[in-house]
Amino acid sequence: MIDVSGLTVRFSGITPIDDMSLVFPVGTCGLIGPNGAGKTTFFNVLSGFVKPVAGTITAFDQDLLKMADFRRARWGLRRTFQTEMAIEQLSVYDNVAMIHEHSGAKRSSRRSDVHTALEFVGLPIAPKTKVGVLNARERRLVELARAVVGEPRLVLLDEPAAGLPDEETAHLSQVIRKIPDAFGALTILVDHDMSLVSRCCATTAVLDFGKLIALGPTEEVLRDEQVIKAYLGTEEDVAPLDATEDE
């Protein structure tokens, strides 16, 4: 469980996250919103890249904001980025083993843990293959394996399906949906693909201009009038230009 209360992030002049309070229960939770809504900024706060001006985040009874950024991985935080960041120079195995090495999980279980993660994501590639020769879909699966290896507690997936065709997103959604049961990790999924979010997530939160505008069962949230308005935009609610994040 992760409990966010009164979270505010401010950069010079703009407020990407404005007094956000929400609770993500267990399972896979969605986090959606139009461009510039503050989704990635929220992930950056969780990763420790961005320091909020106010608010607290309690994750599994621990104050996440007090933890040094590079220690959060050891604690159990995993994340992927919008742009795929699997390491080209390394093999598939080394890509995943590298996360395991810094996770605090036991060294003796590394080989089996890495293979479990690779089997879990269903990557049909020899583990010794260099990531540099893989295609976009395979690299996304490597990233997913990196996100679940080494006893994760909180898995943040930032548009894991970006740039993938629909038929490949289907396999991805099956994998993502299974993460909480297989590894016991709370998973937060940010994506623009509503079909992916509704297939994976029981609970979904919606952000708009840094404010939480809806939170609840995914089906209900997606039918919410305010959410539809936020996505389609209305006459009196035109997005100011400077609020757009580089998403």
- Name the residues that contact other proteins, by CB under 8 A: 47-49, 69-74, 77-79, 81, 85-90, 94, 97-99, 101-103, 124-130, 132-135, 138, 146
Q: Which is nearer to other proteins, 90 or 213 (CB)?
A: 90
Phi, psi of 32 (to 5 degrees): -125, 170
Query: What count of other Cβ atoms lies within 10 Å of the Cβ of residue 162?
Result: 19
In whole angstroms, the minimum distance from the beta carbon of 135 to other proteins comes to 7
Crossing angle for the helix pair 92-101 and 136-148, to the nearest 10 degrees: 20
Identity of the residue, 18 or 94, whose beta carbon is nearer to other proteins in the bound complex: 94
Helices 110-121, 166-183: axis angle to 10 degrees equals 140
CB of 216 to other proteins, least distance (A): 29
| Closest separation in Å from C-beta 43 to other proteins | 9
Q: Which is nearer to other proteins, 143 or 208 (CB)?
A: 143
CA angle 57, 60, 61 (to 5 degrees): 75
Q: Read out DSSP for 11-22?
A: ETTEEEEEEEEE
Of the pair 28, 103, the CB lying nearest other proteins is at 103
Contact between 58 and 22 under an 8 Å Cβ cutoff? The reply is no
Nearer to other proteins, 77 or 214 (CB): 77
Q: How far is the CB of 139 from other proteins (least distance, A)?
A: 11
DSSP category for residue 239? P
Q: What does DSSP say about strands 28-32 and 203-208: parallel, antiparallel, or unpaired? A: parallel
Shortest spacing between CB 207 and other proteins, in angstroms: 21
Note the Cα 63 to chain centre separation in Å: 19
Query: Cβ distance 178 to 208 under 8 Å?
Result: no
Give the residue with the Cβ less far from other proteins, 144 or 212.
144
Q: What does the block give as tokens for 99?
A: 């996360």
CB of 109 to other proteins, least distance (A): 16
